[in-house]
Amino acid sequence: MKLPKLKIGDLKAKFPIIQGGMAIRVSMAELAAAVANEGGIGVIGASVMTPQELKSEIKKARKLSDGIIGVNIMFAATGFSELLKASVEAGIDCIISGAGFSRDMFGVGKESNTPVIPIVSSLKLARISQKLGAAAVVVEGGNAGGHLGSDEYSFDLVKKITGKVDIPVIGAGEVVTPADIESMFELGVDGVQMGTRFLASKEASIAEEFKELCVEATSDDVIKIMSSAGYYANAIKTRFSELIEAGEAPPPANCTDCLKTCSREFCIKDALINARAGDLENGVFFTGASIGKINEILSTKEIFQQIKEYFSD
Protein backbone atom coordinates (compact mmCIF):
# COMPACT_ATOMS: atom_id res chain seq x y z
CA MET A 1 0.00 0.00 0.00
CA LYS A 2 1.20 3.49 -0.85
CA LEU A 3 0.05 6.20 1.52
CA PRO A 4 -1.89 8.98 -0.21
CA LYS A 5 -1.45 12.68 0.46
CA LEU A 6 -4.11 14.13 2.72
CA LYS A 7 -6.13 17.07 1.40
CA ILE A 8 -8.30 19.02 3.82
CA GLY A 9 -9.73 22.17 2.27
CA ASP A 10 -6.77 23.95 0.70
CA LEU A 11 -4.28 22.09 2.93
CA LYS A 12 -2.21 19.30 1.41
CA ALA A 13 -0.18 17.15 3.80
CA LYS A 14 2.58 15.01 2.34
CA PHE A 15 1.73 12.25 4.82
CA PRO A 16 -1.91 11.55 5.81
CA ILE A 17 -1.06 11.72 9.50
CA ILE A 18 -2.46 14.15 12.04
CA GLN A 19 -0.72 14.21 15.39
CA GLY A 20 -3.22 14.08 18.24
CA GLY A 21 -3.60 17.43 20.01
CA MET A 22 -2.83 16.41 23.59
CA ALA A 23 -3.82 19.14 26.02
CA ILE A 24 -2.50 20.38 29.36
CA ARG A 25 0.66 21.41 27.48
CA VAL A 26 1.64 17.93 26.29
CA SER A 27 1.70 18.64 22.55
CA MET A 28 3.29 22.05 22.24
CA ALA A 29 5.16 23.91 19.50
CA GLU A 30 8.18 21.59 19.51
CA LEU A 31 6.16 18.43 18.85
CA ALA A 32 3.71 20.06 16.43
CA ALA A 33 6.55 21.58 14.41
CA ALA A 34 8.48 18.30 14.35
CA VAL A 35 5.45 16.49 12.90
CA ALA A 36 4.82 19.29 10.40
CA ASN A 37 8.46 19.16 9.30
CA GLU A 38 8.03 15.47 8.47
CA GLY A 39 5.05 16.19 6.25
CA GLY A 40 2.22 15.46 8.66
CA ILE A 41 -0.14 17.88 10.40
CA GLY A 42 1.27 18.98 13.75
CA VAL A 43 -1.24 19.97 16.41
CA ILE A 44 -0.92 22.12 19.52
CA GLY A 45 -3.18 21.08 22.40
CA ALA A 46 -4.66 24.47 23.28
CA SER A 47 -6.93 23.74 26.25
CA VAL A 48 -5.96 25.41 29.59
CA MET A 49 -3.77 27.96 27.82
CA THR A 50 -4.62 31.65 27.86
CA PRO A 51 -5.30 33.19 24.43
CA GLN A 52 -1.96 35.01 24.57
CA GLU A 53 -0.10 31.83 25.51
CA LEU A 54 -1.70 30.05 22.56
CA LYS A 55 -0.75 32.84 20.16
CA SER A 56 2.84 32.70 21.44
CA GLU A 57 2.95 28.91 21.01
CA ILE A 58 1.62 29.14 17.46
CA LYS A 59 4.24 31.81 16.69
CA LYS A 60 6.95 29.56 18.11
CA ALA A 61 5.77 26.62 16.00
CA ARG A 62 5.83 28.83 12.90
CA LYS A 63 9.47 29.70 13.59
CA LEU A 64 10.30 25.99 13.84
CA SER A 65 8.37 24.83 10.79
CA ASP A 66 6.78 26.05 7.58
CA GLY A 67 4.57 22.94 7.51
CA ILE A 68 0.93 22.55 8.51
CA ILE A 69 0.16 23.52 12.12
CA GLY A 70 -3.25 23.05 13.74
CA VAL A 71 -4.78 23.42 17.18
CA ASN A 72 -7.01 21.13 19.19
CA ILE A 73 -9.43 22.99 21.47
CA MET A 74 -11.65 21.04 23.84
CA PHE A 75 -15.22 22.35 23.57
CA ALA A 76 -15.86 21.44 27.21
CA ALA A 77 -13.31 24.06 28.35
CA THR A 78 -14.69 27.41 29.52
CA GLY A 79 -12.18 29.32 27.39
CA PHE A 80 -13.17 27.61 24.14
CA SER A 81 -14.48 30.68 22.30
CA GLU A 82 -11.54 32.86 23.31
CA LEU A 83 -9.02 30.20 22.25
CA LEU A 84 -10.87 29.68 18.98
CA LYS A 85 -10.63 33.40 18.24
CA ALA A 86 -6.97 33.56 19.28
CA SER A 87 -5.99 30.65 17.04
CA VAL A 88 -7.66 32.27 14.02
CA GLU A 89 -6.03 35.62 14.78
CA ALA A 90 -2.66 33.85 14.95
CA GLY A 91 -3.25 32.40 11.49
CA ILE A 92 -3.55 28.74 12.44
CA ASP A 93 -3.92 26.30 9.53
CA CYS A 94 -6.78 24.18 10.94
CA ILE A 95 -8.93 23.77 14.04
CA ILE A 96 -9.76 20.40 15.61
CA SER A 97 -12.26 20.12 18.43
CA GLY A 98 -13.72 17.36 20.59
CA ALA A 99 -15.21 16.73 24.06
CA GLY A 100 -18.48 18.27 22.98
CA PHE A 101 -19.70 19.88 19.79
CA SER A 102 -19.72 23.53 18.77
CA ARG A 103 -21.87 24.78 15.92
CA ASP A 104 -20.43 28.29 16.22
CA MET A 105 -16.91 27.18 15.30
CA PHE A 106 -17.98 26.45 11.73
CA GLY A 107 -19.01 30.08 11.24
CA VAL A 108 -15.65 31.24 12.60
CA GLY A 109 -13.88 28.84 10.27
CA LYS A 110 -15.87 30.02 7.27
CA GLU A 111 -15.20 33.70 8.00
CA SER A 112 -11.46 33.15 8.31
CA ASN A 113 -11.20 30.40 5.66
CA THR A 114 -9.82 28.06 8.34
CA PRO A 115 -10.68 24.35 8.00
CA VAL A 116 -12.67 23.08 10.98
CA ILE A 117 -12.37 19.41 11.89
CA PRO A 118 -14.68 18.09 14.63
CA ILE A 119 -14.01 14.81 16.44
CA VAL A 120 -17.13 12.68 16.07
CA SER A 121 -18.33 9.35 17.40
CA SER A 122 -21.34 8.61 15.19
CA LEU A 123 -22.45 8.73 11.56
CA LYS A 124 -25.22 11.15 12.54
CA LEU A 125 -22.74 13.67 13.94
CA ALA A 126 -20.42 13.21 10.96
CA ARG A 127 -23.30 14.09 8.62
CA ILE A 128 -24.31 17.07 10.75
CA SER A 129 -20.70 18.24 10.68
CA GLN A 130 -20.59 18.02 6.90
CA LYS A 131 -23.83 19.99 6.61
CA LEU A 132 -22.48 22.71 8.91
CA GLY A 133 -19.33 23.10 6.84
CA ALA A 134 -16.71 20.79 8.37
CA ALA A 135 -13.63 20.36 6.17
CA ALA A 136 -13.14 16.81 7.53
CA VAL A 137 -14.05 14.70 10.56
CA VAL A 138 -11.91 12.73 12.98
CA VAL A 139 -13.71 9.49 13.88
CA GLU A 140 -12.69 8.29 17.32
CA GLY A 141 -13.91 5.37 19.40
CA GLY A 142 -13.54 4.19 22.96
CA ASN A 143 -10.00 2.86 22.59
CA ALA A 144 -8.50 6.28 21.88
CA GLY A 145 -6.75 8.64 24.27
CA GLY A 146 -8.21 11.76 25.88
CA HIS A 147 -11.86 12.38 26.65
CA LEU A 148 -14.08 9.94 24.75
CA GLY A 149 -17.48 10.29 23.15
CA SER A 150 -18.14 6.60 22.54
CA ASP A 151 -17.44 3.16 23.96
CA GLU A 152 -17.43 1.63 20.49
CA TYR A 153 -14.18 0.22 19.10
CA SER A 154 -12.63 2.79 16.75
CA PHE A 155 -12.19 0.48 13.77
CA ASP A 156 -15.84 -0.64 13.99
CA LEU A 157 -16.99 2.97 14.22
CA VAL A 158 -14.88 4.00 11.24
CA LYS A 159 -16.47 1.24 9.13
CA LYS A 160 -19.88 2.83 9.73
CA ILE A 161 -18.78 6.26 8.52
CA THR A 162 -16.31 5.85 5.65
CA GLY A 163 -18.07 6.24 2.33
CA LYS A 164 -21.14 7.76 4.01
CA VAL A 165 -19.98 11.41 4.00
CA ASP A 166 -18.45 13.55 1.25
CA ILE A 167 -15.62 15.03 3.32
CA PRO A 168 -12.33 13.39 4.40
CA VAL A 169 -12.59 10.88 7.24
CA ILE A 170 -9.67 10.65 9.66
CA GLY A 171 -9.49 7.42 11.69
CA ALA A 172 -8.32 7.64 15.30
CA GLY A 173 -7.93 5.26 18.22
CA GLU A 174 -5.40 2.42 18.46
CA VAL A 175 -3.36 3.73 15.55
CA VAL A 176 0.15 3.30 16.94
CA THR A 177 2.22 1.20 14.57
CA PRO A 178 2.64 1.35 10.78
CA ALA A 179 0.57 -1.84 10.60
CA ASP A 180 -2.24 -0.05 12.46
CA ILE A 181 -2.08 2.75 9.91
CA GLU A 182 -2.39 0.21 7.11
CA SER A 183 -5.36 -1.49 8.81
CA MET A 184 -7.14 1.84 9.18
CA PHE A 185 -6.55 2.76 5.53
CA GLU A 186 -7.95 -0.59 4.46
CA LEU A 187 -11.25 0.66 5.89
CA GLY A 188 -11.28 3.55 3.42
CA VAL A 189 -10.14 6.48 5.57
CA ASP A 190 -8.40 9.51 4.08
CA GLY A 191 -5.99 9.90 6.98
CA VAL A 192 -5.22 8.85 10.54
CA GLN A 193 -4.80 10.70 13.81
CA MET A 194 -2.08 9.39 16.14
CA GLY A 195 -1.76 10.52 19.74
CA THR A 196 -0.35 7.68 21.84
CA ARG A 197 2.70 7.10 19.61
CA PHE A 198 3.65 10.80 19.83
CA LEU A 199 3.00 10.85 23.57
CA ALA A 200 6.09 8.69 23.94
CA SER A 201 8.20 10.84 21.65
CA LYS A 202 11.27 12.87 22.50
CA GLU A 203 9.49 16.09 21.55
CA ALA A 204 6.42 15.56 23.77
CA SER A 205 6.42 18.14 26.58
CA ILE A 206 6.09 15.68 29.45
CA ALA A 207 8.43 14.44 32.17
CA GLU A 208 10.66 11.47 31.48
CA GLU A 209 8.76 9.57 34.21
CA PHE A 210 5.60 9.85 32.09
CA LYS A 211 7.41 8.67 28.96
CA GLU A 212 8.97 5.73 30.81
CA LEU A 213 5.54 4.82 32.18
CA CYS A 214 4.26 4.67 28.59
CA VAL A 215 7.08 2.28 27.67
CA GLU A 216 6.59 0.07 30.72
CA ALA A 217 2.77 -0.08 30.64
CA THR A 218 0.91 -2.92 28.97
CA SER A 219 -2.58 -2.68 27.55
CA ASP A 220 -3.78 -4.53 30.68
CA ASP A 221 -2.60 -1.54 32.71
CA VAL A 222 -5.18 0.74 31.07
CA ILE A 223 -8.43 1.43 32.91
CA LYS A 224 -11.42 3.52 31.94
CA ILE A 225 -12.28 6.33 34.35
CA MET A 226 -15.03 8.91 34.41
CA SER A 227 -13.44 12.34 34.18
CA SER A 228 -14.89 15.19 36.18
CA ALA A 229 -15.57 16.75 32.75
CA GLY A 230 -18.33 14.16 32.28
CA TYR A 231 -16.58 12.00 29.70
CA TYR A 232 -14.91 8.62 30.00
CA ALA A 233 -11.18 8.44 29.38
CA ASN A 234 -8.51 5.77 29.22
CA ALA A 235 -5.75 6.12 31.78
CA ILE A 236 -2.76 4.09 32.91
CA LYS A 237 -3.45 2.37 36.21
CA THR A 238 -1.83 4.44 38.99
CA ARG A 239 -2.76 5.29 42.55
CA PHE A 240 -4.83 8.33 41.62
CA SER A 241 -6.64 6.78 38.66
CA GLU A 242 -7.62 3.87 40.88
CA LEU A 243 -8.95 6.30 43.48
CA ILE A 244 -11.10 7.87 40.75
CA GLU A 245 -12.31 4.46 39.62
CA ALA A 246 -13.27 3.65 43.22
CA GLY A 247 -14.98 7.03 43.73
CA GLU A 248 -12.48 7.98 46.42
CA ALA A 249 -10.47 10.76 44.75
CA PRO A 250 -10.14 13.94 46.85
CA PRO A 251 -12.23 16.99 45.88
CA PRO A 252 -10.61 19.97 44.12
CA ALA A 253 -8.31 22.02 46.33
CA ASN A 254 -8.70 25.21 44.33
CA CYS A 255 -11.36 25.15 41.62
CA THR A 256 -10.81 27.65 38.80
CA ASP A 257 -13.99 26.79 36.83
CA CYS A 258 -11.91 25.63 33.86
CA LEU A 259 -14.74 23.43 32.55
CA LYS A 260 -18.22 24.42 31.41
CA THR A 261 -19.60 21.41 33.27
CA CYS A 262 -17.74 19.63 36.05
CA SER A 263 -18.76 17.08 38.67
CA ARG A 264 -16.25 18.69 41.09
CA GLU A 265 -15.66 15.26 42.57
CA PHE A 266 -11.97 15.81 41.81
CA CYS A 267 -9.93 18.11 39.57
CA ILE A 268 -9.01 16.45 36.30
CA LYS A 269 -6.93 19.46 35.25
CA ASP A 270 -4.70 19.24 38.33
CA ALA A 271 -4.41 15.48 37.93
CA LEU A 272 -3.28 15.88 34.31
CA ILE A 273 -0.84 18.64 35.25
CA ASN A 274 0.61 16.30 37.88
CA ALA A 275 0.94 13.59 35.25
CA ARG A 276 2.76 15.92 32.88
CA ALA A 277 5.21 16.65 35.68
CA GLY A 278 5.76 12.91 36.22
CA ASP A 279 3.98 12.68 39.60
CA LEU A 280 3.19 8.96 39.69
CA GLU A 281 1.24 9.28 42.94
CA ASN A 282 -1.10 12.16 42.12
CA GLY A 283 -1.27 12.18 38.34
CA VAL A 284 -3.80 10.83 35.85
CA PHE A 285 -1.95 9.58 32.79
CA PHE A 286 -4.30 9.66 29.80
CA THR A 287 -3.36 7.31 26.98
CA GLY A 288 -4.89 5.18 24.28
CA ALA A 289 -5.87 1.59 25.09
CA SER A 290 -3.02 0.29 22.92
CA ILE A 291 -0.20 1.77 25.00
CA GLY A 292 1.25 -1.76 25.23
CA LYS A 293 2.46 -1.37 21.64
CA ILE A 294 4.90 1.34 22.74
CA ASN A 295 8.26 -0.19 23.67
CA GLU A 296 10.65 2.71 23.18
CA ILE A 297 10.81 6.48 23.20
CA LEU A 298 11.53 7.73 19.68
CA SER A 299 12.05 11.09 18.06
CA THR A 300 9.36 12.27 15.68
CA LYS A 301 11.80 11.80 12.82
CA GLU A 302 12.34 8.17 13.86
CA ILE A 303 8.59 7.57 14.10
CA PHE A 304 8.10 8.84 10.56
CA GLN A 305 11.11 6.90 9.33
CA GLN A 306 9.52 3.67 10.54
CA ILE A 307 6.32 4.57 8.72
CA LYS A 308 8.20 5.44 5.52
CA GLU A 309 10.16 2.19 5.60
CA TYR A 310 7.02 0.12 6.21
CA PHE A 311 5.15 1.59 3.26
CA SER A 312 8.11 1.53 0.92
CA ASP A 313 8.49 -2.27 1.16
**Predicted local confidence at residue 109, as pLDDT:** 94
Is 237 in the same domain as 254?
yes
Indicate whether 313 pLDDT > 80. Answer: no
Is 91 in the same domain as 199?
yes
Is 285 in the same domain as 174?
no
Is 86 in the same domain as 172?
yes
Rounded CA-CA distance 101/308 in Å is 35
Is 98 in the same domain as 175?
yes
Of 4-18, 94-108, 193-207, the one with minimum mean pLDDT is 94-108
Is 179 in the same domain as 253?
no
Is 31 in the same domain as 111?
yes
Indicate whether 83 pLDDT > 70. Answer: yes
The reply to whether 94 falls in a domain is yes
Is 249 in the same domain as 198?
no
Provide the pLDDT confidence category of residue 174 given band limits of 50, 70 and 90: very high
Indicate whether 32 pLDDT > 90. Answer: yes
Contact 172, 139 (CB under 8 A): yes
Is 183 in the same domain as 232?
no
Is 253 in the same domain as 112?
no
**Predicted local confidence at residue 1, as pLDDT:** 80
| Residue range 86-136, pLDDT digits in tens | 999 999 999 999 888 888 999 999 999 999 999 999 999 999 999 999 999
Find the domain containing 81 and state its range: 6-205+294-312
The CATH number assigned to the domain holding 46 equals: 3.20.20.70
Is 185 in the same domain as 222?
no
The reply to whether 113 falls in a domain is yes
Indicate whether 259 pLDDT > 80. Answer: no
pTM for the whole structure: 0.94
The reply to whether 1 falls in a domain is no
Name the domain count of the chain. Answer: 2
Contact 191, 6 (CB under 8 A): yes
Is 86 in the same domain as 196?
yes
Indicate whether 23 pLDDT > 90. Answer: no
